[in-house]
């Protein structure tokens, strides 16, 4: 691809990167209205869980008094607590009751969000299992997620996909990071456990592509990875971006130890860590396309603009414009 600024390929790539950035920011806004992701540290669910687990602060009163010994202790037990001690004990009881009520409220909120997630997943399954146009089904799923602000990488990818349809973005695909080819022993069902969007995918790309953490799949020279869950967007063919970002994403989605896919740390950690690094870095992964819209579709664009979008100001105020439509 020519590096000349006026080159059509460079222009398309730049447009795709701009679209990806705005799609990620749009999804962030949508998810901020609701509980967000279940598996991200900034989500409401994680904050609620952390607050429940955290030790509550001590009540604001003086230091605990040691029990009195000897004559004063006998007199104190006979006469009862002083007014000051009794007041402190009462305040402590009130505080403990407040903590119990707070924890009950947090657990109730967590249960409500969990129930909402189950209900949403059931509705999404019905939509996805109805067959037909995968792009249409993705838009319908996105409209539901936009109303709830609830979901992980898959749900957020639907929202990004729908947003990008409204912008006429080319070569839109929702990609599932599927299974590893020839996985290491004991990891027969290992998957990337992640979903994201690709903008500018070549229309000739097959539904199932292959790549590794070293070499990206062949999606086209203008293909851009748009990952709203991880808040990232980058050119897919950029080896440096692909390697550095996909290693971080995979480490988080699989819950790998820090530095598990870092060569320098692996070498420092010894033979086992180096072996683990080599096994995972050099393995080939399947990337499965869940939905695809190779070219703009006026009917789908109109539908995506009409349903589920409760944030019109984002579309009206974004700049610059892409193909005459506000970002």
pLDDT tens figures, 131-186? 889 999 999 999 999 988 889 999 999 999 999 999 999 999 999 999 888 766 65
- The verdict on residue 68 lying in a domain is no
Report which listed range, 162-171, 189-198, 267-276, is most confident: 162-171
Q: Select from 45, 41, 14, 32 the least CA-distant residue to 314.
A: 32
Assign residue 256 a region (left: φ > 0; alpha: ψ between -120 and 50; beta: otherwise): beta
The confidence score (pLDDT) of residue 294 equals 93
- Supply the DSSP string of 306-322, one letter for each residue: HSS---HHHHHH--SEE
Percent of the chain past pLDDT 70, that is, above it, reads 66
- The verdict on residue 269 lying in a domain is yes
pLDDT band at 250 (very low <50, low <70, confident <90, very high): confident
- The verdict on residue 170 lying in a domain is yes
- The verdict on residue 115 lying in a domain is no
- The verdict on residue 73 lying in a domain is no
Domain tally, the chain = 1
Helix residue spans in the chain (DSSP H): 8-32, 44-53, 70-79, 83-128, 134-148, 153-166, 239-253, 263-269, 271-282, 298-306, 312-317
pLDDT at residue 78 above 70? no
Question: Between 231 and 267, where is the model more confident?
Answer: 231
Q: State which residues form the domain around 158.
A: 16-34+134-326
Separation of alpha carbons 164 and 254, rounded Å = 28
- The verdict on residue 203 lying in a domain is yes
The confidence score (pLDDT) of residue 105 equals 80
Question: Between 114 and 233, where is the model more confident?
Answer: 233
- The verdict on residue 195 lying in a domain is yes
The confidence score (pLDDT) of residue 101 equals 83
Average pLDDT over residues 65-72: 54
- The verdict on residue 289 lying in a domain is yes
pLDDT tens figures, 114-133? 888 889 999 999 998 888 89
The confidence score (pLDDT) of residue 261 equals 64
**Residue bearing tokens 């579309």:** 315
* Side-by-side strand order, sheet with 172-180: 208-211, 285-293, 172-180, 191-199, 224-227, 232-235
């Amino acid at each position: 691809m020519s590096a000349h600024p006026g080159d059509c390929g460079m222009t398309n790539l730049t447009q795709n990167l701009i679209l990806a950035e705005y799609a990620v920011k749009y999804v962030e806004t949508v998810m901020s209205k609701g509980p967000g992701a279940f598996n991200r540290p900034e989500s409401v669910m994680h904050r609620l869980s952390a607050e429940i687990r955290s030790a509550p602060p001590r009540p604001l009163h003086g230091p605990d008094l040691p029990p009195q010994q000897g004559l004063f202790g006998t007199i104190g037990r006979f006469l009862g607590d002083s007014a000051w001690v009794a007041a402190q004990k009462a305040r402590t009881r009130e505080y403990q009751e407040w903590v119990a009520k707070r924890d009950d409220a947090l657990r109730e909120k967590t249960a409500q969000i969990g129930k909402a997630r189950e209900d949403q997943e059931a509705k999404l399954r019905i939509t996805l299992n109805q067959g037909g146009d995968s792009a249409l089904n993705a838009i319908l799923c996105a409209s539901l997620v936009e109303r709830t602000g609830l979901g992980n990488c898959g749900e957020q990818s639907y929202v990004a996909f729908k947003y990008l349809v409204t912008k006429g973005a080319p070569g839109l695909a929702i990609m599932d990071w599927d299974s590893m080819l020839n996985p290491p022993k004991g990891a027969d069902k290992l998957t990337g456990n992640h979903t994201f969007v690709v903008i500018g995918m070549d229309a000739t790309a097959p539904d199932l592509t292959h790549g590794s953490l070293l070499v990206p799949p062949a999606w086209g020279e203008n293909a851009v990875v748009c990952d709203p869950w991880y808040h990232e967007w980058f050119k897919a063919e950029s080896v440096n971006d692909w390697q550095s970002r996909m290693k971080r994403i995979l480490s988080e989605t699989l819950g790998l130890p820090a530095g598990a896919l870092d060569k320098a740390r692996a070498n420092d950690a010894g033979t086992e860590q180096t072996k683990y690094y080599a096994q995972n870095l050099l393995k080939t992964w399947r990337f499965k396309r869940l939905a695809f819209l190779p070219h703009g579709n006026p009917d789908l664009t109109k539908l995506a603009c009409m349903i589920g979008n409760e944030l019109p100001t984002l579309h009206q105020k974004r700049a610059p414009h892409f193909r005459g439509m506000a970002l």
